[in-house]
Amino acid sequence: MATDVPEGSVRNILEQETLKWVFVGGKGGVGKTTCSSILSILLAQVRQSVLVISTDPAHNLSDAFQQRFTKIPTLVNGFSNLYAMEVDPKVEGDDLSDEGLDGFLSELTNAIPGVDEAMSFAEMLKLVQTMDYSVIVFDTAPTGHTLRLLQFPSTLEKGLEKVMALKNKFGGIMNQATRLFGLGDEFSTDAMLGKLEGMKDVIEQVNRQFKDPDLTTFVCICIPEFLSLYETERLVQELTKFEIDAHNIIINQVLFDDEAVESKLLKARIKMQQKYIDQFYMLYDDFHITKLPLLPEEVCGVQALRKFSQHYVSPYKPDLTRGTLEEVQMRISTLKLQLEEAKLELETLQKGKQDA
């Protein structure tokens, strides 16, 4: 039966040559940016050109690669085919060509929550589609924002309906006002409507691609805790509802039982984590589940990302296995070291007491 379990790695994503869009999402603070960065590095090894985009307002791509990124795709240091960009999922003045349109849209934004993000996202997709990248990796914002991102086509639909209603109600007055103030045709309701229509076309075209499992996949990132399991379940259900393919889960910050752990706190933590890991395997028995170890340091910089990427393609195995000769020897040397440290601490305390 064990042979039926999909391999615990992301090889399936690397081998799927038709993939165009890879979304990486999950609860806040589970390591999405590190996973997005490493996935893009691995894809750059097998694809002609890769773009990794952060749509999270709290951008961390610059921290992960230790390089400054902006809303213009920038070549990542040390690569010839990996680019990164950070975009804010909100409307910026220069995205909308003029201030008048921006002002008009504030009414629209208040009426339809998320329409500003939808328009910004449409602008970004329009930009991305003019570039020739083999595959695009999205480092998305926490789950709620990601789900909004997937709802953008229907959000823009509502936006168009609202503009139509405003046009029917105030169209004549608005067109008269634009002429009265000597403003150009770009401020007319027809121009605004045309802009929204254009964005809607882009979003719908991309949305069709998002629903094609040959072109798009979603990678869920989590940690072995209750809230993260709950959020992952919610995310997977929503993705199913939006007909978006997902068959990879990455579990971050795992403490491995095989490793020489003496702390009671860590042992309790391992037991708790194992309970949730078992639930992940039970709920997602047809998913590729990749378990990644908790590290004593952050994974920052291209070198560290490259080194850690090996655990994405072949399942992580601890250096020492409990009960082996090497592990017992290691445990003895660790205990000896701890004993020496405790003796020194005791001597310092005794000396301090005598001086007092």
Q: Which residues are catalytic?
A: 56
End-to-end CA distance of the chain: 68
CB 174 within 8 A of CB 189: yes
CB 222 within 8 A of CB 254: no
- State the Cα–Cα distance between residues 170 and 158, nearest whole angstrom: 18
Radius of gyration of the chain (CA): 26
Report the 10 Å Cβ neighbour count for 324. Answer: 12
Q: Which residues contact 210 (CB under 8 A, 6 or more apart)?
A: 21, 150, 216, 242, 244
Chain mean position to CA 229: 16
- State the Cα–Cα distance between residues 10 and 287, nearest whole angstrom: 10
CB 115 within 8 A of CB 155: yes
DSSP 104-130: HHHHHHHHSTTHHHHHHHHHHHHHHHH
Residue in 80, 11, 13, 10 with CA at minimum distance from that of residue 44: 80
Token pair 């213009």 is found at: 72
> CA distances (Å), 107 to each of 44, 162, 179, 205, in order?
43, 10, 21, 27
Q: In what order do the strands lie in the sheet containing 50-54?
A: 74-75, 82-86, 50-54, 135-139, 21-26, 216-222, 248-254, 288-293
